[in-house]
Structure 1
Amino acid sequence: MTLSRRKTLALLGGGAIVAAGGAAAGFVTTRTPKDALRPWAMAGQYSDPCKRALSYAILAPNPHNRQPWLVDLRRDGEVTLYVDANRLLPHTDPFSRQIIVGLGCFLELMSIAAAQDGYRVDFDLFPDGEPCPDLDGRRIAVARFSPQTGGEEPELFAQILNRRSLKEPYDMARPVGAEVLRALEQAIDKGSEVATTNAPDMVQSLRDLTANALQIEFETPHTYKESVDLFRIGKREVNANPDGLDFSGPMWEAMRLTGLFSREAALDRDGIAYTSGLDMVRDTAQASMAYIWLVSEGNTRADQIAAGRDWVRLNLAATAQGLGVHPMSQALQEFPEMARLYRQAHELLAPDGGTVQMLGRLGYGPQVPQSPRWPLDAKVRTV
């Protein structure tokens, strides 16, 4: 039987652990990046209500885990949000649309956490005007906290610490039922249009679309290198830079130690790391059981914020259902090499017009660990 490249890579990782032997093998099996995961344990552990809410907001999903938020807390009861211009994705996200969607996720988690704590948050979005086409130093939002009674969303708040982006292949024998899809649709209330499908023909079309889009991103040198530059390989790198794309745990640590996996190896188009990686992302795209997508009538920065707020609500609702969500927005990226699939995605998902802001695959899959995060204090602006 011929092994898939996914299985080959796993076997290589297992072999590397064995080859490390003795003390070295014990070393790699304890390489959890605990420092980078500490913000999950710190959520809610602040006396100030703004910091308490922000300690949950920093756990929001965001593109390439760049965590592009910076906050100013120098006014009592107020949070001013800026974008960190050093954390943009100029090749895969040239207009920073996805970055703004991620900031919308951040704002919504802050609002949900504050409501659970007895505070209402009112947002003044883009008070200095919307930054277009490029992001700059203007304020993204001013969030003002005030005491309130009621308005809590405990069912969503309870899932913040459980939420993950489940990027593994899903159980192909376990369908996603229509009632589950309806529950997800009902969680979205910030202005996006939402649609779902579990229809076999449409699901297969979206499997193929997303697999082909991943391949284009992979095979376009400047977009692929943007991702590889953000690889964090092994505990030491993840703890030092708890953003980007996390490759930690025993297999990746062993492969790093034995030279089987590195950024240089990933860029070698004839090497096993590159060819296996491409096979893995295509295989994962094909192992999907349903899809959900969000459409905005326009494509203003405010529309993008609203899509992010709805996207994270959908993630929390899916978590409550035991369902995995994996953003698959490569076909929605605006770099030139993706133009054909961008048009195809919009013809398929928004035939009446509008901008498809997010697309995600749905299904049931394994438990996965938390993703690394910068601590809250690293995201507070002091000047």
Structure 2
Amino acid sequence: MTPDLLETIAEEANLAPSAHNTQPTRWQADGDNAILLSLKPSRLLPIGDPENKDARLSGGASLYGTIIALARNGMGTSGWEADGDRARIELSSDACPVLPAELLTRRTTYRAGFEAPSNDARRALEDLCASRDDTALTQAKDQIEALSEWNDQASLAVMRAPDFRYELLDWMRLSRSNPRWDTDGLSAEALAMSGLEARAAGLVLRRPLFELIDRIGFAKAVVSEHSKTITATGLIAFHRPQGEDRWTSGGKFYDFWIALTRAGFAAWPMAVLADNTEARQEVMRLYQLPDDRDLITVLRVGPHPGNRQPPKARLAAHQLLTEA
């Protein structure tokens, strides 16, 4: 595989979602018949993701994106395997179904409030979730309210850790003057923040202001996403078999998100509901998920915003390759 073709494959595969938009996956040719994927250590989250579980989910999404990109360039795969923070894809000449590039570029994490859905949209979401064995949907207002409250409580709990906040701030791009505004991380635009909100976030999330606000009882209001969460058409628990490799789970997650995009929806993960033990138990109970399922995340889902979505911040193709 030529370096130019590998760059093309990596650039398209890197449209996959990743935690905090860290884009941790790197690509390397392994002879003519395989591609190696690895997680770059400097793009991991040692505080927020100490066991690299989310990073491997991100890697799995990129792996699935690689398979899609290969198909779009006339190549197939005969299989893949993962070991820790690395994966290897075997190439083949077999033809694979080709997904439209528009689906990949249109897929978005939409963090603003959703518009009201049509009845047809509600039914389409029901049908999509009913067609899979790894999703559970609720559109009930009281359940959305309850899950929103758990999300805010769990978010406050994790934000009370200063190290977590500073790691998050390191990946936030709160001003267009940030040289990495359009390459990685979470821009104020992607976070649906106004200029004033972005400036305030840069101050409030730091010591000692956050602790002071928390002491007087206003921290939950600062981190709350409730007003946006309750606009969702539905909340979807995405779950996979217990013990499944996170690379596999990440690929299935990206596959589902692409299916949501095809059906006309955008999504916004509530990852803290899977990370926080108490919240996770409440989610499993509410959705009546059996103990042999692993809750990956809960997605807020609503009508796709169309052209109102901000452009994706992505690294240049040459930055995605690892030299042999």
* TM-score, length of structure 1 as denominator length: 0.71
Alpha-carbon distance in 2 for matches of 1:230, 1:306: 26
**1:101: Cα distance to partner?**
0.9
* TM-score, length of structure 2 as denominator length: 0.83
Other-structure match for 2:18:
62
Q: CA 1:253/1:324 → structure 2, altered by over 3 Å: closer, same or farther?
A: closer
Other-structure match for 1:22:
none
**1:160: Cα distance to partner?**
0.6
Alignment of 1:47-86 (within 5 A): 48-73=4-29, 75-86=31-42
Residue of 123, 126, 144 corresponding to 1:178: 123
Residue of 274, 277, 282 corresponding to 1:332: 274
Other-structure match for 2:93:
147
| Residue identity opposite 1:180 in structure 2 | L
| Residue identity opposite 1:312 in structure 2 | Y
Other-structure match for 2:102:
158
**2:262 aligned with 1:313:** no
Alignment of 1:1-383 (within 5 A): 48-73=4-29, 75-126=31-82, 130-131=83-84, 140-149=86-95, 151-154=96-99, 157-172=101-116, 174=118, 176-183=121-128, 186=131, 193-239=134-180, 242-247=183-188, 255=196, 260-261=199-200, 263-267=202-206, 268-269=209-210, 278=222, 281-300=225-244, 302=245, 304-333=246-275, 338-349=276-287, 351-353=289-291, 354-364=293-303, 366=305, 367-383=308-324
State how many pairs are aligned.
311
Q: Secondary structure at the match of 2:299?
A: strand
**1:343: Cα distance to partner?**
2.4
| Residue identity opposite 1:208 in structure 2 | E
- 8 Å CA contact 1:331–1:345 kept in 2: the answer is yes
**1:67: Cα distance to partner?**
0.6
Q: Secondary structure at the match of 1:145?
A: strand
**1:288: Cα distance to partner?**
1.9
Q: CA 1:54/1:283 → structure 2, altered by over 3 Å: closer, same or farther?
A: same
Q: CA 1:348/1:60 → structure 2, altered by over 3 Å: closer, same or farther?
A: same
**1:53: Cα distance to partner?**
2.4
**1:296: Cα distance to partner?**
2.0
Higher mean Cα deviation, 291-300 or 372-381? 291-300
- 8 Å CA contact 1:350–1:356 kept in 2: the answer is no
Aligned residues: percent identity? 17
Q: CA 1:77/1:173 → structure 2, altered by over 3 Å: closer, same or farther?
A: closer
CA RMSD of aligned residues (A): 3.1
Gaps of 5+ in 1: 1-45
Q: Secondary structure at the match of 1:344?
A: helix
Alpha-carbon distance in 1 for matches of 2:204, 2:149: 27
- 8 Å CA contact 2:238–2:295 kept in 1: the answer is yes
- 8 Å CA contact 2:156–2:220 kept in 1: the answer is no
Gaps of 5+ in 2: none
Q: Secondary structure at the match of 1:75?
A: coil
Q: Secondary structure at the match of 1:356?
A: strand
From the CA coordinates, give the structure whose radius of gyration is larger.
1
Encode CA deviations 1:167-202: one digit per residue, 9 max, x unaligned: 11112465641333323554x6xxx72222223333
Alpha-carbon distance in 1 for matches of 2:196, 2:161: 25
**1:105: Cα distance to partner?**
0.9
Alpha-carbon distance in 2 for matches of 1:252, 1:203: 23
Q: CA 1:178/1:197 → structure 2, altered by over 3 Å: closer, same or farther?
A: farther
- 8 Å CA contact 1:211–1:286 kept in 2: the answer is no
Alpha-carbon distance in 2 for matches of 1:90, 1:213: 19
Alpha-carbon distance in 1 for matches of 2:111, 2:295: 21
